Every structure is written in C-alpha cells, then in structure tokens.
Structure 1
Amino acid sequence: MSPVDRFSGHADLYQQYRIDYPAELYNYLLSFVTNRQRAWDCATGNGQVAVILADYFAEVEATDISQAQLSKAVQRPNIRYQVTPAEHTPFPDQHFDLITVAQALHWFDVEAFHQEVIRVAKPGAIVAEWMYGVALVDASLDALIQDFYRNRVGPYWDPQRRHIDENYVNLPFPFADVQQRQFTIHRHWTAERFLNYLRTWSAVQNYIRQHQNDPVKYLAEELSGVWGEEEKDVKFPVVLRVGRL
C-alpha cells in the first residue's frame, strides 16, 4: 500500500489555517507518560504536535511523507524532522516513551503502522491516536456546513474519510489499558477565517484539481450572510484513544 499524500500541494494554506489541539488533551495524555526521554510524532505535518511535545521530552522525532509540510514546521533544538512513511521508519527497536498520531491514522496502512509502533516503542510506552470531526457553529450554520461536507465536496473525499465519521471505531488498536476520551476544540473565527479553513480540506483540494475552480466560493456568500461580521465560537469534536505497550 503506497503512502497517500493529500497535503503537499497546499502546505502554505495548511500552515496558516489548520487548527491545533487543546491543552486539556495534552494534559490528559501526558498524565499516562512517566518516562519522557523520547517521543515520536508520526504524520507531524507542520509540527503542531511535535512543538508541544518538545516542551516535555528531551528528544522528539517528527516524521511525515511530505517534505513540503515539513519545510513549514517550527524548529526546536530537540525536534528532528524527517521524511519517512509511518509504516517503515529508521528508528531502532524499543526507542520511544510516547508515540502520537493526530488526524492522520486513516491515511495509513494501519496494521503495518501498529507493527512498527510495537517495534520502536519501549515496554510500557504510551500510544495516542486522535481525530476531530466536522465543525459545529450554531443551528443556523450547521446545516450549510453539513451540506457542503456531504454533498458539494462529499464525492471528492478519499474513502478513508469514513473512519473520521466513525470516530476510528473500526480501526484496530492492539494495545493494553485502552482509554478513550472526548474533547472539544474551540476557536473564535470570522466567516472568512472559517472559509479559509475549509480550503485546507483534502476534498476541497481534490475538487479544485479536477474542476479548476474553488467549491468554497459556492458556499461563501450564503454562509457569510448568515454568519455576519462578528466572530463565532467554532467547535470541533475530538476523540482520543490511548493505549500502553
């Protein structure tokens, strides 16, 4: 199975408009980690998670298949970024205390990735995988957003997207002491900011490649009219699962 890269072509947009994750998620995750020598953030993108882990671990390895994404990553002395697929890495056996993957597991050969995790994780290491679903704003806007997600760009999602809608419940997680918890990301955004976030979706980029125009423009006028000039609380539901080697 070849790695799937849907984000190199819009790395600038991704860096500018993609969301990050709440402190509550990191606090909960780190409560399971007793040894903090080395962490691996897999499919790091532009390093959003790696930068946070760098405050807690002596060394962070951050990998992705997209050099374009890594070129936008924030640099820290204790983070090493490198291009490598999730399923085959250059790391030694029993090397990491924590392994994370955020909003990317559905792109992997999941069984092969988990075999690699088992190889490179220390005994007792923590594995954390999380994803977030479609944004919620309010009753007047959510129907517009869902229609855009399912109908306007629905046919342009890769098949793997279904795992996000299913909260990863049908993807294996062969680890011990499994815990699952939900969080909510809150962002206060204008309509323009939200519309630019939509342009980071892989389905939107697939649509643009096929039709040479931007599907977000079909949504923009109606959504902006309902949204108004003010910022609104945009909520992203997050599902995290944590396990131990």
Structure 2
Amino acid sequence: MTQQFKDYFSGASRDYSLYRPHYPSELFTYLASLSKHHETAWDCATGTGQTAQKLSALYQTVVATDASQTQLAQAEHQLAHRDNIIFEKMCAEKTNITSGSIDLVTVSQALHWFDLERFSVEVNRVLKPGGVLAVWAYDLMSITPAIDDVVSYLYHTVLDGYWPVERKMIENGYREINFPLQEIESPVFEMTQRWNLTQLLGYLHTWSSIRKQLSTTGGDLVEAELNKISALWGDAEKPQTITWPLVLRTWSME
C-alpha cells in the first residue's frame, strides 16, 4: 500500500534551519570510514541540508533528496556554494537514482516517516556492493535535572496526543527496524550545543506537536511550561550546554 507523504516541516523550514542541533563531525568521519568508496552519497530526506553539507566534504558527489520543495529550497539557498551537491525533489521510496551507484545512504531524523518496505527495496537497488546504509535519530535533550523534568512533562503530558504516531519509533530507539543487509555494530554518538534561552525556545517551537497545539488550542498549557523553563534557565543570554544522545544504526551491502 502506498504511503502518502506527511509534510510536518515545510511550514517551519527556516526555524528548522536556525534552531535544530548539529550532528557531530565525528559521526560523518565514522560513516565515511565504513564505505569502501567515496564517489556518491545519497542523503535521503535531506530537509534543510545539514547532513548533505557534511557529506559534501567527504564524497565526490552528494545527491540530496526530499519530498518537500520548501525544505529543498531552503537547503539549496544555504548550500549554493557547495557545487557537488545535487538537489532533487523525490520521495524516499522511489527515486531516479541509478541502480548500484551509491556508496552511502543516510537518513537523519526521518526514517520513521517512510514506507519501510518500499524504502528497503529502493536502498537495495541503489547501493553498490560494499555500500552502507546509516540511519539515526535523537529524542529528548538533557540540560539540567530541573529543566529536564519540565521538558519531560511538556513532551509526555502536555503534548500527549499531539505527536504523530510515527514518532514512537524514535522513542523506541529504532529497535524494531531491520533491513535485509548486514548490520554493523556502531559506536555511540551525541550532539552537544551551547545555546542561550532564545535558541532553546526556538528549537522547542520547531516541534510539530507544539505547532499543532498552538494552532488548535492557543497553547496556554505549552506557554506555561515554557515559562517554567525560562524561569529555571536564569540569565536568558547565558549559554548552557545541551546534549542529545543519537540512536545510530548501520548496515552494509554484502
């Protein structure tokens, strides 16, 4: 059964670009070490192009695809200086990528939106022998115990019912996902940012659940929790360290 593309992010593509955490460079160095060749990488569901940008320093060509034209436009605008990135509007499950041409396929914070059976077929079609599939995601961040408690309450209680059901796959650490490839045991990575309060609140407002709650109820309950976070933060201009553990799974084509 064909799964319809669910676009939760085009309406916030600029904020998504400004306020999303950055994946560590060590992650991409590791992924490049797994693939036998470094000719072409496919960044599937590229969003605003963060992963494609990192890959462009490690692979001769990066094919960056997304089903959202708005997200692609944002990525192309930001990465116009990267002449080895090819941007294409395509769904994950059906592309015009040449069979057996890809050394590395990456999916960052997006696999849970895919029709996994059809995507698996497409990955098997485009990967070279020895090619690698890498998927990763992140869940709740950690700041301080007090702020973490408020964020957890906001996420699990105030926003309960506003999250798309697909997000459960992230909460489960992608544990139930498997591909007919050889799995590689990967190290643990985390993202770390030094953000001030404005940056944190900007990030929280990129959550699709918060945008949905604000549009349907006016968001008084959300704002109450954000005010608690602001009070606990203290000096709004003072940066604090925020960390997100990454869930990473990798496979290779034998």
Q: Assess same fold via TM > 0.5.
A: yes
Q: Secondary structure at the match of 2:8?
A: coil
**Rounded Cα–Cα distance in structure 2 between residues aligned with 1:140 and 1:177:** 38
For residue 213 of structure 1, report the CA deviation from its aligned partner: 4.4
Tell me, yes or no, if the aligned pair for 2:36 and 2:130 is still in contact at 8 Å: no
Tell me, yes or no, if the aligned pair for 1:66 and 1:83 is still in contact at 8 Å: yes
For residue 212 of structure 1, report the CA deviation from its aligned partner: 4.6
State the TM-score, normalized to the length of structure 2.
0.92
> Are 2:220 and 1:218 equivalent residues in the alignment?
no
> Are 2:198 and 1:198 equivalent residues in the alignment?
no
Tell me, yes or no, if the aligned pair for 1:32 and 1:126 is still in contact at 8 Å: yes
Tell me, yes or no, if the aligned pair for 2:21 and 2:192 is still in contact at 8 Å: no
Q: 1:235 aligns with which of 216, 223, 243?
A: 243
Instruction: List runs of 5+ in structure 2 lacking aligned partners.
Output: none
Amino acid at match of 1:109: D
Q: Secondary structure at the match of 1:237?
A: strand
Tell me, yes or no, if the aligned pair for 2:109 and 2:137 is still in contact at 8 Å: yes
State the TM-score, normalized to the length of structure 1.
0.96
**Rounded Cα–Cα distance in structure 2 between residues aligned with 1:19 and 1:54:** 19
Q: 1:64 aligns with which of 48, 51, 66?
A: 66
Change over 3 Å in CA distance of 1:214–1:192 after alignment to 2: farther
Aligned residue number for residue 252 of structure 2: 244
Q: Taking every aligned residue pair, what percent have the same amino acid on both sides?
A: 36
Change over 3 Å in CA distance of 1:232–1:117 after alignment to 2: same
Misfit runs of 4+, over 4 Å? 212-216
Aligned residue number for residue 135 of structure 1: 141
Tell me, yes or no, if the aligned pair for 1:207 and 1:214 is still in contact at 8 Å: no
Q: What is the aligned length?
A: 245
Cα RMSD between the aligned structures? 1.4
Aligned residue number for residue 8 of structure 2: 6
**Rounded Cα–Cα distance in structure 2 between residues aligned with 1:215 and 1:18:** 23
Instruction: List runs of 5+ in structure 1 lacking aligned partners.
Output: none
> Are 2:86 and 1:84 equivalent residues in the alignment?
no
Q: 1:144 aligns with which of 140, 150, 157?
A: 150
Tell me, yes or no, if the aligned pair for 1:195 and 1:216 is still in contact at 8 Å: no
**Rounded Cα–Cα distance in structure 1 between residues aligned with 2:191 and 2:89:** 28
Amino acid at match of 1:88: K
Q: Secondary structure at the match of 2:161?
A: helix
Please say which of residues 140-149 and 209-218 is displaced more in the overlay: 209-218
Alignment of 1:80-119 (within 5 A): 80-119=86-125
